[in-house]
Amino acid sequence: MSIESPCQKACVVALCVAFPLASAPAQTIPPSYGHDFVTIGAPGNRGVTPFEAPDWDFDRFGTFGDVGYRYRITRTEVTNAQYFQFINLYFNTPGTLRDGGGLGTGIGVDGFDPQGDPILFISQGAEHAPADPTWQFAARYMNWLHNDKGTRLEDFETGVYDTSTFGVDPNTGARTDQVSRSPGARYFLPSFDEWTKAAHYDPDRYGSGQEGYWYYPGGSDDPLVSGLPGEPGAETGVGQDPPEYFLSFPVASFPDTDAPWGMLDASGGVSEWTETVLEPFRPDRLRVVAGSDTIDPFGTLLSDRLDDIRARLRSRHGFRVGSVVPAPGTSLVLCVGLSAACIGRRR
């Protein structure tokens, strides 16, 4: 078959260039490492409006929830069982920081082995409850995943967040913690925008193709109904008594209360760390905390709301894993674009 138009010739050239490039190793989605991820699409979505978040200070902070790329986030918070593998390795690696903030509520120390290393355990019944360490240890968990679950000191302390920055300036008293993830991070603590989009954003909120945000998690504009797991009509465990003091119910205890993207447990469980520093100019660099606690009796009225924003420093909260979704290779995009142009011109 002859090639008649210059555009068709350009397409053939593009294909010839693209195919050799496509033989190089393609970008792949990072391993899940036992986590259940959901993918958040609709890149370039708009942010929250004053109508949707009436109590948010737009003049001071601007909008939020807009994300210009696809990404993944774990369907539930990281559990004690998932976190235990990390913290057990970390506490038994020479040179690491054996700080109690790394344990959280459901993990403890049961003596020491002959080498002087701590023997850790998970409280009975807390295996599938959310882990709740400090922000700094949640950040180390991301380093560990990014470094393919390595066992060297640097696998815990660098990669996504440089833990050598974690501390306080002795002259000013200001926190020196790295504010956001390093370039090239494969795993990370979700930003507040990423968390909000996963929990509240719906591409069809106001009808087919009409994007927007729900005021409460689970695709609802009304407070969720509190109750025990499995109880008819129960949508969240906020205000209920979990099996043990300060332990939440297991993750995914309310499987029908899911966000449009499939994320669970935005309500109840534990409130969650995000990567975002709400006011970077403040010396304490408080991190935004999202979602509500099971033990908070007012969670469904306050902490579940789209416009309820809180910031914390040293307290303990749960967390999710964010992860990248690689974009298509440049050669493939170029080839597809030129082909589409040729088709259009022929039409």
Q: Does residue 118 form part of some domain?
A: yes
Q: Given the structure tokens 């195919």, which residue do they identify?
A: 19
Helix (H) and strand (E) counts in the chain:
7, 11
For residues 303 and 210, membership in a common domain is answered with yes
> For residue 279, how far is the Cα from the chain centroid?
20
Q: Which pTM does this prediction carry?
A: 0.85
Tens-digit pLDDT profile for residues 120-157? 999 988 999 999 999 999 999 999 999 999 999 999 99
The two beta strands, 201-202 and 37-40, are unpaired
> Quick one: residue 345, left, alpha or beta (phi over 0 = left, psi -120 to 50 = alpha)?
alpha
Neighbours of 92 (CB within 10 A): 16
For residues 106 and 149, membership in a common domain is answered with yes
Question: How many domains is the chain partitioned into structurally?
Answer: 2
For residues 232 and 253, membership in a common domain is answered with yes
Tens-digit pLDDT profile for residues 233-289? 999 998 888 877 667 899 999 999 999 999 999 998 889 999 999 887 888 888 999
Q: Does residue 305 form part of some domain?
A: yes
How far apart CA 178 and CA 166 sit, in angstroms, is: 7
Residue 310 bridge partners (DSSP)? 289
For residues 338 and 246, membership in a common domain is answered with no
Domain range for residue 202? 28-326
Do the Cβ atoms of 141 and 320 come closer than 8 Å? no
* Domain CATH for 157: 3.90.1580
Distances (CA, A) of 234 to 4, 128, 252: 66, 20, 13
Q: Does residue 1 form part of some domain?
A: no
For residues 109 and 21, membership in a common domain is answered with no
